[in-house]
């Protein structure tokens, strides 16, 4: 089983070496890393390519011409993952906020389910102590809003830490996924839920990024508010028949 970790990046050069080491120290057979870089000015793509010399055949780099947001980067990464014949695709951030040591638990879940979602908000999950009360309140409030609008059955709607079976991405209409920011994560799960794919949440402890800056902005938050409504009322399209 080929497992491909897809990591979208923008100015994450200083995190890549540590991330790659943690991933490959897991000793998961046939695990590879795909870095999807949006033309980072800090040389993230070049750093990833240099790492490829340390881990021959295990690191792939997809260079994109400009910064377009998380959603378009993931769509490009998913297409590349399918081209590379990945059986399971792992979504995670480059900043080590998603601890790689939880990947085996996601892979265990994916043996039974179509999608395994790393969740901060089920028993056993949690958030690093650096988060203050206000940040926690905003995060949970956002989840409640998205769950209410979209009717999602997930506790952690914004989670970007997941394992996805190849068959899911082959059937979801990738070109129909239009969200740019973190609401992309909820949009993808909404499509999966509406198509009847099975989903399980797996607990993990979210960590504060070790270095670099957050990509959050007012524009991303505003997109999440209106895009949730838009996604809820957009007709589902698939790469095959409707449903399963």
Return the CATH number at 178: 3.90.550.10
Q: Is residue 237 part of a domain?
A: no
Total domains, the chain = 1
- Supply the pTM of this predicted model: 0.85
Q: Is residue 238 part of a domain?
A: no
**Predicted pLDDT at 64:** 96
Between 39-43, 107-111, 129-133, the lowest mean confidence (pLDDT) is in 129-133
Q: Who wins on pLDDT, 193 or 227?
A: 193
**Predicted pLDDT at 211:** 57
Q: Is residue 241 part of a domain?
A: no
Q: Is residue 219 part of a domain?
A: yes
DSSP state of 195: T
**Predicted pLDDT at 145:** 80
Strand order in the sheet with 59-63: 59-63, 31-37, 3-9, 88-91, 162-165, 115-119, 199-203
CA dist 225 and 230 (Å) reads 9
- Provide the residue range defining the domain that includes 223: 3-232
Q: Who wins on pLDDT, 191 or 227?
A: 191
Segment 47-67 mean pLDDT: 96
CA dist 128 and 190 (Å) reads 27
Q: Who wins on pLDDT, 177 or 25?
A: 25
**Predicted pLDDT at 241:** 40
Question: Which class for 42: exposed (0-12), middle (13-18), buried (19 or more C-beta within 10 A)?
Answer: middle
Percent of residues, the chain, with pLDDT higher than 70: 80
Largest CA distance in the chain: 47
**Predicted pLDDT at 234:** 66
Q: Is residue 239 part of a domain?
A: no
Helices (H), 59-182: 70-83, 103-109, 133-150, 166-171
Q: Who wins on pLDDT, 207 or 139?
A: 207
**Predicted pLDDT at 237:** 47
Q: Is residue 243 part of a domain?
A: no
Average per-residue pLDDT for the chain = 86
Radius of gyration of the chain from Cα atoms? 17
**Predicted pLDDT at 244:** 41
**Predicted pLDDT at 221:** 58
**Predicted pLDDT at 180:** 79
Three-state secondary structure call for residue 139: helix
Q: Of the candidates 73, 107, 101, 96, which has an alpha carbon nearest to the alpha carbon of residue 19?
A: 96
CB neighbourhood size of 222 (10 A)? 11
pLDDT at 135 over 70: no
pLDDT at 18 over 60: yes
């Amino acid at each position: 089983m080929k497992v491909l970790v897809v990591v979208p990046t923008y100015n994450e050069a200083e995190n890549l070496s540590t991330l790659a080491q943690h991933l490959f120290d897991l000793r998961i057979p046939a695990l590879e890393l795909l870095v999807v870089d949006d033309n980072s000015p800090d040389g993230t793509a070049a750093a990833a390519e240099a790492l490829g010399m340390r881990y021959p055949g295990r690191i792939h780099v997809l260079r994109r011409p400009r910064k377009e947001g998380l959603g378009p980067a993931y769509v490009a990464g998913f297409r590349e993952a399918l081209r590379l014949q990945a059986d399971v695709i792992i979504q995670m951030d480059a900043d080590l906020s998603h601890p790689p040591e939880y990947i085996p638990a996601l892979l265990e879940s994916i043996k039974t389910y179509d999608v395994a979602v790393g969740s901060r908000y089920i028993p056993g999950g949690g958030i690093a102590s650096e988060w203050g009360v206000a940040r926690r309140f905003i995060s949970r409030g956002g989840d409640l809003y998205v769950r209410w609008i979209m009717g999602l059955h997930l506790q952690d709607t914004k989670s970007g830490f997941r394992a996805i079976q190849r068959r899911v991405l082959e059937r979801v209409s990738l070109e129909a996924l239009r969200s740019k920011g973190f609401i992309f994560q909820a949009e993808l799960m909404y499509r999966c839920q509406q198509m009847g794919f099975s989903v399980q949440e797996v607990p993990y402890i979210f960590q504060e990024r070790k270095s670099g800056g957050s990509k959050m902005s007012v524009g991303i938050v505003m997109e999440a508010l209106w895009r949730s409504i838009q996604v809820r009322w957009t007709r589902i399209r698939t790469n095959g028949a409707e449903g399963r």
